[in-house]
Chains A and B, each alone.
Chain A
Amino acid sequence: MAFKLNVNGKVREADVDPDTPLLWTLRDALGVLGPKFGCGVGQCGACTVHLDGQPIRSCVTPVSAVQGKITTIEGIGASAVGQRVQQAWTELDVAQCGYCQPGQIMSATALLTKNPKPTDADIDAAMNGNICRCATYGRIRAAIKRASGQRGEA
C-alpha cells in the first residue's frame, strides 16, 4: 500500500504494509536512517521523531496511523531550537557511542520548544524515556541547560 508522508518538509511516498511501524518505513522504505532501533517496544526512545512537533516513538507507531508532519533528526536543525540543541551537544561532546543521541536530541528539542527554561525536574520528566546505555546523562542535562541559555551544571 502506498502512504504519503511529509518527512522533514518533503512529501515522500512509501509502499509498505499498513502495520509497518513508522521507524521501518523511514529506515527501510525511505532511507531515512537517523531514527534508530533499540527495543521495538517504545522503551528506549532511540527511535524518537516528531509528529507535528510532538515526540513520538516511531517503532510502535504504525505508518497507517500517521497523519501530520514528521520531523527526524535529519531535519531538526531547520528549527532554531533544534539547531541550538545540536550546537550544545557538539560543544559539550555529549556522545559516547552516539547511537541514542538522535532520540535524545529529538526529545530535548521538543522539551525546549514547549518549556524554554526547564528545571532539572522538567528535564528528568521529559528525558526519562530516552535510555543512554553509555550513561552520558550528566552531559545531556548540561547540554539542555546550555541550549536553554541557563548555566550548566558544575
Chain B
Amino acid sequence: MTVQTSRREFMKAGAVSGGLVLAFALAPKAGAQGQQPATPPLQPFNAYVRIAPDETVTITSKNPEVGQGIKTMLPMLIAEELDVDWSKVRIVQADNDPTIYGRQFAGGSMATPLHWEELRRVGGAGRAMLIAAAARGWGVSPAECTTTPGVVVHAASGRRATYGSLAAKAAAVPVPDPKSLTLKDPAAYRIIGKPRAQYDTAKIVTGQPLFGIDVQVPGMLYATYEKAPVFGAKVAGADLAAAQGVKGVRKAFVVEGGTELSGLLPGVAVVADSWWAARKGRDRLNIRWAEHPTSAQSSAGFQARADELAKAKPQKNLRNDGDIDAALKGAARTVQAAYAYPFLAHAPLEPQNCTAHFQNGKLEIWAPTQNPEPGRQLTARTLGIKPEDITIHMIRGGGGFGRRLSNDYMVEAAWIARETGRPVKLLWTREDDLRHDFYRPAGFHYLSGGLDASGKLVAWHDHFVTFGEGDQYAPSARMSENEFPARFVPNCRLDVSTMPIGVPTGPLRAPGSNALAFVMQSFIDELAHAAGADPYEFRMRLLAAQTEVPEGQGAFNPRRMEGALRAVAEMSGWGKTKLPARTGMGIAFYYSHLGYFAEVVRASVDADGNVTPEKVWVAGDVGRQIINPFGALNQVEGSALDGLSEALHQKVTIENGAAVESNFDTYPLMRISEAPPVEVKFVTTDFPPTGLGEPALPPVIPALCNAVFAATGKRVRSLPIDPAQLKA
C-alpha cells in the first residue's frame, strides 16, 4: 500500500466531499488488567461511525487485526444496534489513539468481553440520534418511531426517512447516555450470529497490499538489523565499510542499544535501496560480539538446575490446603511424575517488520503490532521524544500469536529511520525472528498425587520450577495459586522455585495455559488410570467435588466445564468406540481466557513411534452468543491444530546463551498432510459472550498425549513428543 495521506488529511478530505456527516464516540471502559485509560471525551470528528448521503455506513474498527477477525467482528456489534444492512457497511482500521479509543490491543482473547456491551451501545446511540433527528423533523415523539435497516419509520403516519438523509441533522443531536439505551432482543439480530466473511477477504485472495511488509512510503529505503545471538550482547566491532561497499547500500552503522530485553538491543543496521541489497551488505559485516554474562545458559543446563531445585526446599509456597504430607502418607495409592516443556517461538508467517519516518522532530510509524500504545511509549522513551510526537498506523499483521504484543521491531525501525533521515522499512529475516523472539518459557513440574481407597483424588502437590529472580517471575513464567485442581482437592500444596534467565520470554497464544494444561491434565490422566477409573468419569467426579460456584466473571464455574465435557464425550463417542491396535482416544479440559473447553483427540502411533492425530473433537462454552460463526470456527479449528503442532514438533533449544533453531527446517510447523479434521460444538449457556482466540488451544495438547497413552501405554511427560520413546 502506498501511504500518502495522514489521518488528519483523510478526515478533512472526507468532510470536504460531504462524507463526514455523523460521527461520535462513547467513552471506553477500563482497559485490560484493570488499567484505567484516561477517559476520552466525546469527540465528534474522531469516531466510530460515518453515514454518507449514498447510505454507505463507514465503521471504524478500533483494535489491531492479526488474523483473529476483529476488524470484521467489532463493526458487526455496532452495525447490529445501529440497524443497518451489512452490505452497506464499509470498515476502516483506526490508528492508535487512546484519547479516542482507550486501550487498543489484540491479546488475552479480551476483545469480546471488553466490547460486547460497549460497541453495541455505540450502535444503539447512533440509532437513537437518527430517530431523534427524524422525530424532530416530523414533529412527533421519538418514542413513536422505529427503524428498519437504514431507515427511520413513523408507523402511525407512514413516514420514512433514510439514514443518509438524516445523518447531517443526527450529528447535531446530543449523544444519549449509553445507559439509557435499550438494546435489541437477540431474537431480532440480523448481523450478530450470522456467518460473515472477513471484510478484507477480497483483498487477501487477490493479493492486494494489506500487511506491514507491503507498506510503501515515497522515498523509502530498506533496512536489516543484526543483533547478537546471545540476547543483549554488545557490538565489539563490525566491518561497516565492507557492507557499505555493496551496491545499493546507503549506510551501515552500529546501534549502541540498551540492556532491557524488550527494548532496543545492540546491533548493526544496514540501510539500502532494496532489501536484498541490505541483506547482502549485512552478510559482509563480520560482526564481533562482546562477551556476555548469559552466554553459558542452555536448555540442558536449565533442566539440570531444575532437577536440583526440585530436590531442595521450595523457595515459595503458593497454596497449602489441608495437610499434604499426611494425605500422601495416608493415601491408598500415590503417583509421582516429573513433567517438562520447552521454549517455543511464535513464528507468525509474516516476519517482524515496521516502517518509520522521522521528520521535523515527529515520528510516523506503520506497524503490524498487537499492542501499539506500549510501543509508542517505548519508542518515545528510547528516542527521547514525546509520545504525542509519534503517530502509529496499525497495519494488518500476518499472524500475531502474542509475538506482536512486543514492540522491539518498532523501536528498531524508529531508531534506524531517525539515523537515516529517510522513511525506512525494517524487515527481519526468518532467522532473526526465530532467534530473537520472546519465547514461551520452558518449565518444570515435580508432581505427587494421592488417591484414597475409593479412587478419589485426595492429595495434589506440585513443585513448579520456573524462571525469575527474587520475587520477580520472568514474563509469562508464573502459575496461579488457583491452578486446577486447586480448590477441588482437600489437600493441595503448590510450591515454586525460580532460576535466573537471560533469554527473553513472553506471552504465546494462551500464555501459561498452553503449558500448564499439558502438565495438569496429563497428570490427572495418570491418576485416573491409577484409580482404575475412566478418564472422563474421573474428571467429572473431580469437578463435582466443588459445589460452590463463585460469583463474578473470571471465576471458574465447574458446572460450565461439566457441560463442555459432557458434550465432547457425546460428540466423540467416548467409551463407546472400538479402536484398532495402537490407536487411542484422550480427553482433557481447560479453562482459560474465560472460555470452557473440553477436547478429545483420537491418535494412532505406528511401530516407529510416529504419532498421527486422526481426529479432534472440541466442545466449548463461551457464553450465550457466537458473534461471527465463520470467524469463531476458524479460531477454534486453528487453535486446536496449533496446539497439536506444538506438541508434535516444536521446541526452541538454548545453547551457549542463544537459540539454535533458525528456520522452518529446524522449527517445523504443521503442514496440511498432518492436519486432522476438527469437529467443533459450541455449548451455549446464559453468560456474557467471551473470546475465542486462545481458549481452545490448551486442552488439545494433553488430549493428544492422553490418546498416545491410551494407544501405547506410554506416558508423554516431556514435549515435544519424542517418537523414539513410543516405538512398538
Contact = CB atoms under 8 A, between A and B. Distances in A.
Contacts of B214: 33
A99 B276 contact: no
Nearest to A130: B672
Contacts of B256: none
B332 interface: no
A20 B349 CA distance: 22
A43 B664 contact: yes
Contact of B672 (A28, A96, A141): A141
Most buried by B among A46, A124, A138: A138
A5 B709 CA distance: 56
Contact of B678 (A31, A46, A91, A138): A138
Nearest to B212: A99
A99 B211 CA distance: 8
Contacts of A41: 430, 663-665
A129 B635 CA distance: 23
Interface stretch (B81-89, B235-243, B637-645): B637-645
Nearest to B248: A17
A82 to B, nearest CB: 10
B632 to A, nearest CB: 11
Most buried by B among A77, A97, A141: A97
B322 interface: no
Contacts of B638: 96, 134-136
A98 B399 CA distance: 8
Interface in A85-136: 86, 89-91, 93, 95-102, 105, 123-125, 127-128, 130-136
A133 B348 contact: yes
A139 interface: yes
Contact of B349 (A31, A91, A97, A123): A97
A38 B200 contact: no
B276 A21 contact: yes
Given A28-B222, A97-B348, A135-B637, A90 B67 contact: no
B612 interface: no
Interface string A10-43: 0000001100110010011101011111111101
Contacts of B198: 93, 95, 98
A29 B681 CA distance: 48
B36 interface: no
A86 B664 contact: no
B479 interface: no
Interface in A138-152: 138-141
Contacts of B276: 16-17, 20-21, 24, 28
A29 B207 contact: no
A56 interface: no
A137 interface: yes
A7 interface: no
B695 interface: no
A78 to B, nearest CB: 11
Nearest to A137: B675
B347 A133 contact: yes
A35 B350 CA distance: 12
Contact of B399 (A37, A127, A134, A138): A134
Contact of B205 (A35, A86, A128): A86
A85 B470 CA distance: 56
A132 to B, nearest CB: 8
Given A33-B209, A43-B665, A90-B201, A124 B349 contact: no
A6 B405 CA distance: 41
A74 interface: yes
A144 to B, nearest CB: 10
B520 interface: no
A46 B579 CA distance: 38
B216 interface: yes
Contacts of B641: 135, 137
Contacts, number: 178
Interface string B574-607: 0000000000000000000000000000000000
Interface residues of B, number: 63
A101 B645 contact: no
A124 B677 contact: no
Contacts of B164: none
B630 interface: yes
B274 interface: yes
Nearest to B220: A28
A124 B277 CA distance: 36
B683 interface: no
B636 to A, nearest CB: 11
Contact of B69 (A31, A96, A123, A141): A96
A72 interface: yes
A44 B207 CA distance: 17
Contacts of A123: 672
B399 A74 contact: no
Contacts of B670: 135, 137
A125 to B, nearest CB: 8
Nearest to A44: B664
Given A29-B274, A43-B663, A97-B398, A124 B67 contact: no
A77 B349 contact: no
B206 A86 contact: yes
A99 B207 CA distance: 9
A133 B349 contact: yes
Nearest to B429: A40
A37 B351 contact: yes
B201 A95 contact: yes
Contact of A96 (B68, B222, B429): B68
B566 to A, nearest CB: 23
Contacts of A44: 349, 664
Contact of B275 (A24, A46, A98, A105): A24
A129 B300 CA distance: 32
A103 to B, nearest CB: 9
A26 to B, nearest CB: 11
B207 A33 contact: yes
A131 B664 contact: yes
Contacts of B665: 41, 43
Interface string B211-251: 10110100000100000000000000000000000011000
A116 to B, nearest CB: 19
B618 interface: no
Nearest to A135: B641
B675 A135 contact: yes
A153 interface: yes
The 9 closest A-B CB pairs, nearest first, are A34-B207, A97-B67, A99-B398, A73-B207, A135-B641, A137-B675, A98-B204, A124-B673, A96-B67
Interface of B: 66-69, 195, 197-198, 200-202, 204-211, 213-214, 216, 222, 247-248, 274-277, 280, 347-351, 396-401, 427, 429-430, 630-631, 634-635, 637-638, 641-642, 645, 663-665, 669-673, 675, 677-678
13 contacts: A20-B274, A36-B398, A41-B664, A86-B205, A90-B197, A96-B634, A98-B210, A101-B205, A105-B205, A128-B672, A130-B671, A138-B677, A141-B672
Interface of A: 16-17, 20-21, 24, 27-29, 31, 33-41, 43-44, 46, 72-74, 77, 86, 89-91, 93, 95-102, 105, 123-125, 127-128, 130-141, 153
Given A41-B664, A73-B207, 13 more contacts: A17-B276, A20-B276, A28-B222, A28-B276, A29-B274, A34-B208, A36-B213, A44-B349, A86-B206, A89-B204, A95-B198, A96-B69, A97-B350
